[in-house]
């Protein structure tokens, strides 16, 4: 996108509420890394700062590191602190975005951490907190693949599968803030065990973990041969998306089959979510999708179109995410800016 | 409910917009019958009138019969035509509720019928048209099991399975007006064929048709014995809910097993819809649910609670519909009244 296009889309993102010399900070708080980015009214990232999370330390220390990342990103952008209107943070877990409390985040080992209050205390800037996948979805809707679309579902495929739903232009949370948990929709009640304890969830059928498990099984139980372990540093634990893409590129049949199976179940998942909320666009993102490319996404669409009710997929697009790792910080900035408007 | 309770709930239904001497007509247009009911500001049905649909005749004739039903129900209530502010109609099929056109309704043999325009022409009263299951869901939300709840899913089990979704207090339609088609969510990709052409849809696993097919199979393929055919007039075609209930009551194991299977898949469906939109209440309605009673619904809840993510079902109720066949006409009246307010 060029600057003119960014200006145009920013008009719909809410970031245009910012003055020319005003900025927001988007933070993506992960289990291993913290990414902070300064974003202006045109949706452009002005500066970034990365640090390790060190989730093994106390929540106070981690929050201190977030505050440092924010300060460093402001410094890097040569801004005065008064030019920063708000901070938005995406965290991996169940978040009460009204209070800014992280209710439960296993990757961070956090339970009931008042992130908003603590960070506002340290930074003296208004803070908004939400689930990281929700914010990735919001980022794609504001400035990525779903620009200009009011009803959108985001599905992000990595070691797990996360999802977010935007209805009528707003993130939709549901009664217990668990709406959009598309990774744990059960597509095959007698299917493989999922990390959540159930069987046959989308995550257990189509995540990177599910794919590597499938390859592992083919090797050990069916005696098939695959170059995937070799491409992944000798092991199938924590298989990397790039290794999967390389194995497919080199014609590894076992990996290809496992990936086609994941593609099929992602298609079933898209059909399911389309049957229930019938969004205009489904955005597929995350490492696996990026590594596999457009053809993989087109295949997911085809499965969904075949399985959805007649008409349900008419005009519904299944698109690759466009913002990559920036989706989270952009979504965080957008939501922080929205809350600024309503405060 | 007593009159005082009705008055109280009507405060939230939108019907309170009506004056004391003002009324709306709710119409449930089915493939075999038309039901019209006069409803006042307190949500009470003042009069009803029923007629056969005669879907084999032309759309014009059917619309004429709807107009007659409306006139007769007004007459029966001793009202003057000027006291009727609006007509709401629920029709079985895909409806464009903005234009009041029935796009496709196989049970009526209708394609692109401008029902709103034609009936307004004949009746000179503003007409609102929507899908019958959507309106049944709205009726239950306004005055039935979902009173006072803003986020609700309705699942109606009969020969097929229909669904409706209310989000933030409004019917939710989605991009192609196919949101809420819970009957065609695929729960078992290798499951039995569904009327829609796919396999393993909720409808193919848990509708009355699915149950009777399962019993049929047990009898013919596995040589099992069942009293269900006898209780259903000698045949398993179009099995009635009452026959199913009687067979269970008399301890018919084959029927019981088929019904438990339907109950299990309804539970999977409730878990699925909860994972995606996380409503506060799921209302189960339709002939089968009414005939099987509260224990059946409690069993559906238990399956869903076991399969849903931790927290997702916290405080979420799965309730039996309360309005029976009146849900549709009440929902039609409520929506007609809402549109009156916004016109």
Q: What is the pLDDT of residues A188-243, one digit of tens each?
A: 988 999 988 889 999 999 999 999 999 999 999 999 999 999 999 999 888 899 99
**pLDDT at residue B12 in the model:** 65
**Those residues with Cβ within 8 angstroms of residue B282's Cβ, 6 or more apart along the chain or in another chain:** B152, B153, B154, B155, B270, B273, B274, B304, B316, B317, B318, B319
In terms of C-beta density within 10 A (0-12 exposed, 13-18 middle, 19 or more buried), how is residue A142 classed?
buried
Gap between the Cα atoms of B320 and B246, Å rounded = 19
Chain B residues bordering chain A (beta-carbon distance below 8 Å): 94, 151, 165, 167-168, 172-182, 184-189, 196, 198, 268, 271-280, 307-316
- The beta-strand segments (E) located in A106-235 are 110-113, 127-131, 152-157, 161-167, 170-171
Chain A residue numbers with beta carbons less than 8 Å from the beta carbon of B165 are: 276-277
Q: What is the rounded CA–CA span in Å between residue B260 and residue B257? A: 5
Which among B170, B75, B45, B65 is positioned nearest to B108, based on CA atoms?
A: B65
Which residue on chain A is closest to B275 by alpha carbon? A181
Scanning the structure block, which residue is given the tokens 């059960």?
A: A186
Sheet hosting strand B152-157, strand order edge to edge:
B170-171, B161-167, B152-157, B281-285, B317-320
Residue of B nearest to A271 (CA): B185
pLDDT tens digits for range B124-146: 999 999 999 999 999 999 999 99
| Confidence tier at B10 by pLDDT (50, 70, 90) | very low
Contacts of B180 in chain A (CB under 8 A): 276, 278
Tokens 């396999």 label which residue?
A: B199
Over residues B55-71, mean pLDDT: 96
% residues pLDDT > 90 (chain A): 83
Instruction: State the smallest CA–CA distance between residue A130 and chain B in angstroms.
Output: 17
Q: Which residue of A lies nearest to B164 if distances are taken between CA atoms? A: A276
- Show residues of chain B in contact with A316, CB under 8 Å: 175-176
Contacts of B178 in chain A (CB under 8 A): 274-275, 278, 309, 311-312
Beta-carbon count within 10 A of A314 CB:
11
Residues of A near B (Cβ–Cβ under 8 Å) read 94, 151, 165, 167-168, 172-182, 184-189, 196, 198, 268, 271-280, 307-316
Average pLDDT over chain A reads 92
Identify any residues that bridge with A152 across adjacent strands, giving them in sequence order: A166, A281
Q: B272 pLDDT exceeds 50?
A: yes
CA–CA dist B278, B151 (Å, integer): 8
Among candidates A83, A48, A85, which has minimal Cα distance to A69? A48
What is the rounded CA–CA span in Å between residue B188 and residue A164?
24
Q: Chain B: nearest CA to A219, how far in angstroms?
A: 25
Residue from the list A178, A271, A314 with its beta carbon closest to the beta carbon of B278: A178
Question: Which residue is closest to B186 within chain A, CA to CA?
Answer: A272
Render pLDDT for A110-161 as a digit per residue (tens, 0 to 9): 999 999 999 999 999 999 999 999 999 999 999 999 998 999 999 999 989 9
This prediction's pTM: 0.90
**Where does B221-293 have alpha helices with state H?**
228-231, 241-249, 253-277, 287-292
Question: Could you tell me which residues come within 8 angstroms of residue B80 by beta carbon, excluding any fewer than 6 positions away?
Answer: none
Tokens 């509420």: give the residue.
A17
Q: pLDDT-derived band of residue A9, with 50, 70 and 90 as boundaries? A: very low
Nearest to A278 among B176, B268, B275 (CB): B176
ipTM of the prediction: 0.86
Q: What percent of chain A has pLDDT over 70?
A: 96
Quick one: pLDDT at residue A106? Answer: 86
User: Residue A1 above 70 pLDDT?
Assistant: no
Q: Quick check: A278 and B177 CB within 8 A?
A: yes
């Amino acid at each position: 996108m060029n600057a003119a296009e960014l200006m145009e889309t920013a008009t719909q993102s809410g970031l245009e509420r910012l003055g020319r010399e005003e900025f927001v900070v988007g933070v993506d708080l992960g289990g291993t890394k913290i990414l902070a980015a300064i974003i202006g009214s045109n949706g452009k990232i002005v500066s970034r700062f990365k640090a390790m999370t060190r989730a093994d330390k106390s929540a106070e220390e981690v929050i201190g590191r977030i505050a440092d990342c924010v300060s460093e990103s402001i410094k890097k952008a040569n801004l005065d602190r008064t030019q920063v209107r708000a901070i938005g943070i995406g965290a991996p877990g169940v978040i009460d975005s009204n209070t800014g409390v992280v209710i439960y985040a296993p990757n961070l080992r956090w339970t009931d951490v008042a992130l908003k209050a603590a960070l506002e205390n340290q930074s003296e800037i208004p803070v908004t907190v939400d689930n990281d996948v929700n914010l990735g979805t919001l980022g794609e809707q504001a400035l990525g693949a779903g620009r200009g679309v009011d009803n959108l579902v985001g599905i992000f495929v990595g070691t797990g599968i996360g999802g977010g739903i935007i209805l009528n232009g707003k993130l939709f949370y549901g009664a217990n803030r668990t709406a959009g948990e598309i990774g744990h929709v059960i597509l095959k009640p007698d299917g493989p065990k999922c990390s959540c304890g159930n069987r046959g969830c989308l995550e257990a059928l189509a995540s990177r973990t599910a794919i590597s498990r499938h390859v592992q099984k083919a090797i050990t139980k069916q005696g098939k041969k695959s170059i995937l372990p070799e491409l992944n540093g000798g092991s199938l634990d924590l298989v990397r998306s790039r290794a999967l893409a390389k194995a497919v590129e080199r014609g590894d049949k076992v990996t290809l089959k496992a990936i086609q199976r994941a593609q099929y179940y992602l298609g079933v998942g898209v059909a399911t979510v389309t049957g229930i909320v019938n969004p205009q666009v489904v955005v597929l993102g995350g490492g696996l999708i990026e590594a596999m490319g457009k053809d993989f996404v087109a295949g997911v669409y085809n499965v969904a179109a075949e399985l959805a009710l007649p008409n349900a997929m008419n005009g519904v697009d299944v698109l690759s995410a466009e913002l990559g790792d920036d989706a989270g910080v952009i979504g965080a900035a957008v939501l922080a800016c929205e809350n600024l408007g309503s405060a």
